[in-house]
Amino acid sequence: MLNETTNPITTLPANYREARYMSVNERGVLVMLNLLSLIPMAISGLVVFGGLLVYHEELEAPLVLGFLPDKIPSTLGIVLILLVLPLHEWIHGQVIRLCGHKPRYGVKWMVLFATSDGAYFRRNEFIRIALAPLVVISLGGLLLMPFLPYGLAQWFALAVMLNAAGAIGDLWMTAVALGFDASALIRDEEDSMRIFTRRPTLVS
Protein backbone atom coordinates (compact mmCIF):
# COMPACT_ATOMS: atom_id res chain seq x y z
CA MET A 1 0.00 0.00 0.00
CA LEU A 2 2.87 2.36 0.76
CA ASN A 3 4.23 1.82 -2.74
CA GLU A 4 0.87 2.80 -4.20
CA THR A 5 0.47 6.01 -2.23
CA THR A 6 4.02 7.17 -2.88
CA ASN A 7 3.73 6.54 -6.62
CA PRO A 8 0.52 8.16 -7.90
CA ILE A 9 -0.14 7.65 -11.61
CA THR A 10 -0.92 10.77 -13.64
CA THR A 11 -0.05 9.52 -17.13
CA LEU A 12 -1.58 6.47 -18.75
CA PRO A 13 1.15 3.89 -19.42
CA ALA A 14 1.73 3.16 -23.11
CA ASN A 15 0.80 -0.49 -22.70
CA TYR A 16 -2.72 0.28 -21.42
CA ARG A 17 -5.90 0.64 -23.47
CA GLU A 18 -9.43 1.74 -22.60
CA ALA A 19 -11.53 -1.31 -21.77
CA ARG A 20 -14.77 0.24 -20.55
CA TYR A 21 -16.52 3.58 -20.20
CA MET A 22 -19.45 4.08 -17.85
CA SER A 23 -21.63 7.10 -17.13
CA VAL A 24 -24.57 7.61 -14.81
CA ASN A 25 -26.14 9.59 -17.65
CA GLU A 26 -26.45 6.54 -19.88
CA ARG A 27 -30.04 5.62 -20.69
CA GLY A 28 -31.73 3.92 -17.78
CA VAL A 29 -28.69 3.96 -15.49
CA LEU A 30 -29.84 6.84 -13.28
CA VAL A 31 -33.32 5.36 -12.88
CA MET A 32 -31.80 1.96 -12.07
CA LEU A 33 -29.47 3.45 -9.45
CA ASN A 34 -32.29 5.41 -7.82
CA LEU A 35 -34.35 2.24 -7.51
CA LEU A 36 -31.39 0.20 -6.26
CA SER A 37 -30.61 2.87 -3.65
CA LEU A 38 -33.68 1.65 -1.76
CA ILE A 39 -31.81 -1.57 -0.96
CA PRO A 40 -28.91 -0.10 1.09
CA MET A 41 -31.35 2.39 2.60
CA ALA A 42 -33.64 -0.42 3.77
CA ILE A 43 -30.77 -2.55 5.07
CA SER A 44 -29.18 0.32 6.97
CA GLY A 45 -32.59 1.33 8.32
CA LEU A 46 -33.23 -2.14 9.69
CA VAL A 47 -29.78 -2.24 11.28
CA VAL A 48 -29.70 1.21 12.87
CA PHE A 49 -33.34 1.54 13.93
CA GLY A 50 -33.55 -2.10 14.97
CA GLY A 51 -30.38 -1.66 16.98
CA LEU A 52 -31.70 1.52 18.58
CA LEU A 53 -34.92 -0.18 19.67
CA VAL A 54 -33.08 -3.12 21.20
CA TYR A 55 -30.53 -0.85 22.86
CA HIS A 56 -33.09 1.51 24.41
CA GLU A 57 -35.97 -0.89 25.12
CA GLU A 58 -34.18 -4.09 26.07
CA LEU A 59 -30.75 -2.93 27.28
CA GLU A 60 -32.02 0.37 28.75
CA ALA A 61 -29.31 2.42 27.00
CA PRO A 62 -26.60 2.33 29.70
CA LEU A 63 -24.13 4.56 27.82
CA VAL A 64 -26.43 7.49 26.98
CA LEU A 65 -25.03 10.87 28.01
CA GLY A 66 -27.75 12.44 30.13
CA PHE A 67 -26.77 16.05 29.45
CA LEU A 68 -27.60 15.73 25.74
CA PRO A 69 -31.08 16.76 24.55
CA ASP A 70 -33.50 14.04 23.58
CA LYS A 71 -35.27 16.29 21.10
CA ILE A 72 -33.96 18.96 18.75
CA PRO A 73 -35.87 21.28 16.38
CA SER A 74 -36.84 19.59 13.12
CA THR A 75 -34.97 22.25 11.13
CA LEU A 76 -31.76 21.44 12.98
CA GLY A 77 -32.36 17.73 12.47
CA ILE A 78 -32.82 18.19 8.73
CA VAL A 79 -29.63 20.26 8.55
CA LEU A 80 -27.83 17.48 10.42
CA ILE A 81 -29.05 14.93 7.89
CA LEU A 82 -28.10 17.07 4.89
CA LEU A 83 -24.60 17.66 6.26
CA VAL A 84 -23.88 14.03 5.47
CA LEU A 85 -23.81 14.94 1.75
CA PRO A 86 -20.71 17.20 1.83
CA LEU A 87 -19.16 14.93 4.49
CA HIS A 88 -19.53 11.99 2.10
CA GLU A 89 -17.61 13.81 -0.65
CA TRP A 90 -15.02 15.17 1.79
CA ILE A 91 -14.18 11.62 2.84
CA HIS A 92 -13.81 10.63 -0.82
CA GLY A 93 -11.40 13.54 -1.18
CA GLN A 94 -9.31 12.62 1.84
CA VAL A 95 -8.77 9.09 0.55
CA ILE A 96 -7.90 10.54 -2.87
CA ARG A 97 -5.29 12.63 -1.08
CA LEU A 98 -3.96 9.53 0.71
CA CYS A 99 -3.50 7.95 -2.71
CA GLY A 100 -1.20 10.82 -3.65
CA HIS A 101 -3.58 12.89 -5.78
CA LYS A 102 -5.17 16.30 -5.25
CA PRO A 103 -8.95 16.17 -4.75
CA ARG A 104 -11.30 18.57 -6.50
CA TYR A 105 -14.85 19.14 -5.30
CA GLY A 106 -17.81 20.43 -7.26
CA VAL A 107 -21.48 20.18 -8.17
CA LYS A 108 -22.87 18.66 -11.38
CA TRP A 109 -26.55 18.12 -12.17
CA MET A 110 -27.26 19.35 -8.61
CA VAL A 111 -25.17 16.49 -7.20
CA LEU A 112 -21.98 16.95 -5.18
CA PHE A 113 -18.86 15.14 -6.35
CA ALA A 114 -15.20 14.66 -5.51
CA THR A 115 -12.65 13.76 -8.16
CA SER A 116 -9.03 14.34 -9.10
CA ASP A 117 -8.03 15.78 -12.46
CA GLY A 118 -5.53 13.73 -14.42
CA ALA A 119 -5.43 10.91 -11.88
CA TYR A 120 -5.32 7.24 -12.80
CA PHE A 121 -6.24 5.14 -9.79
CA ARG A 122 -5.17 1.55 -9.38
CA ARG A 123 -8.22 -0.67 -9.07
CA ASN A 124 -7.79 -1.25 -5.34
CA GLU A 125 -7.17 2.46 -4.72
CA PHE A 126 -10.38 3.28 -6.58
CA ILE A 127 -12.35 0.77 -4.51
CA ARG A 128 -11.00 2.22 -1.26
CA ILE A 129 -11.95 5.72 -2.40
CA ALA A 130 -15.42 4.59 -3.49
CA LEU A 131 -16.30 2.69 -0.31
CA ALA A 132 -14.67 4.97 2.28
CA PRO A 133 -17.70 7.26 2.93
CA LEU A 134 -20.10 4.33 3.33
CA VAL A 135 -17.77 2.55 5.75
CA VAL A 136 -16.65 5.61 7.75
CA ILE A 137 -20.06 7.25 8.15
CA SER A 138 -21.87 3.97 8.87
CA LEU A 139 -19.33 2.88 11.49
CA GLY A 140 -19.08 6.40 12.91
CA GLY A 141 -22.85 6.58 13.31
CA LEU A 142 -23.07 3.16 14.91
CA LEU A 143 -20.29 4.02 17.37
CA LEU A 144 -21.83 7.39 18.25
CA MET A 145 -25.50 6.48 18.63
CA PRO A 146 -25.16 4.44 21.86
CA PHE A 147 -24.20 7.69 23.63
CA LEU A 148 -27.18 9.67 22.31
CA PRO A 149 -30.71 9.93 23.72
CA TYR A 150 -33.24 8.08 21.57
CA GLY A 151 -34.78 11.15 19.94
CA LEU A 152 -31.41 12.61 18.97
CA ALA A 153 -30.07 9.23 17.85
CA GLN A 154 -32.96 8.92 15.39
CA TRP A 155 -31.67 11.91 13.43
CA PHE A 156 -28.22 10.34 13.22
CA ALA A 157 -29.83 7.09 12.12
CA LEU A 158 -31.61 8.91 9.30
CA ALA A 159 -28.28 10.48 8.27
CA VAL A 160 -26.70 7.02 8.12
CA MET A 161 -29.61 5.80 5.99
CA LEU A 162 -29.32 8.76 3.60
CA ASN A 163 -25.60 8.16 3.24
CA ALA A 164 -26.15 4.46 2.52
CA ALA A 165 -28.70 5.29 -0.16
CA GLY A 166 -26.38 7.91 -1.65
CA ALA A 167 -23.57 5.37 -1.82
CA ILE A 168 -25.37 3.27 -4.43
CA GLY A 169 -23.28 4.82 -7.20
CA ASP A 170 -20.11 4.00 -5.28
CA LEU A 171 -21.29 0.41 -4.81
CA TRP A 172 -22.15 0.15 -8.51
CA MET A 173 -18.71 1.40 -9.59
CA THR A 174 -17.03 -0.90 -7.07
CA ALA A 175 -18.89 -3.91 -8.48
CA VAL A 176 -17.78 -2.98 -11.99
CA ALA A 177 -14.17 -2.37 -10.91
CA LEU A 178 -14.03 -5.78 -9.21
CA GLY A 179 -14.73 -7.34 -12.61
CA PHE A 180 -11.25 -6.28 -13.74
CA ASP A 181 -7.79 -7.39 -12.71
CA ALA A 182 -6.06 -5.53 -9.87
CA SER A 183 -3.63 -4.09 -12.44
CA ALA A 184 -6.45 -2.09 -14.09
CA LEU A 185 -6.31 1.71 -13.92
CA ILE A 186 -9.43 3.81 -13.46
CA ARG A 187 -10.00 7.47 -14.25
CA ASP A 188 -12.86 9.24 -12.52
CA GLU A 189 -14.66 11.89 -14.59
CA GLU A 190 -17.17 13.44 -12.17
CA ASP A 191 -20.24 11.50 -13.35
CA SER A 192 -18.46 8.76 -15.29
CA MET A 193 -15.45 6.46 -15.17
CA ARG A 194 -13.02 4.96 -17.66
CA ILE A 195 -11.30 1.66 -17.02
CA PHE A 196 -7.97 0.87 -18.65
CA THR A 197 -6.32 -2.53 -18.84
CA ARG A 198 -2.95 -3.77 -20.03
CA ARG A 199 -2.71 -4.61 -23.71
CA PRO A 200 -2.19 -8.31 -24.39
CA THR A 201 1.47 -9.17 -24.83
CA LEU A 202 2.16 -10.33 -28.38
CA VAL A 203 4.09 -13.56 -28.56
CA SER A 204 6.39 -13.71 -31.56
Q: What is the DSSP string of 67-81?
A: TS-S---HHHHHHHH
How crowded is residue 49: how many other Cβ atoms within 10 Å of its Cβ? 16
Instruction: Give pLDDT, residue 200.
Output: 82
Spatial distance between the Cα atoms of 130 and 123, rounded to a whole number of angstroms: 11
Q: What is the pTM of this model?
A: 0.91
Phi then psi for 28, rounded to 5 degrees?
85, -15
DSSP state of 120: B
Q: Can you spell out the DSSP letters for 7-63?
A: S-B-S--TTEEEEEEEETTSTTHHHHHHHHTHHHHHHHHHHHHHHHHIIIIIS--TT
Residues of the chain short of pLDDT 70, as ranges, are 1-6, 202-204
Instruction: Give pLDDT, residue 24.
Output: 83
Of 116, 80, 83, nearest in space to 98 by CA: 116
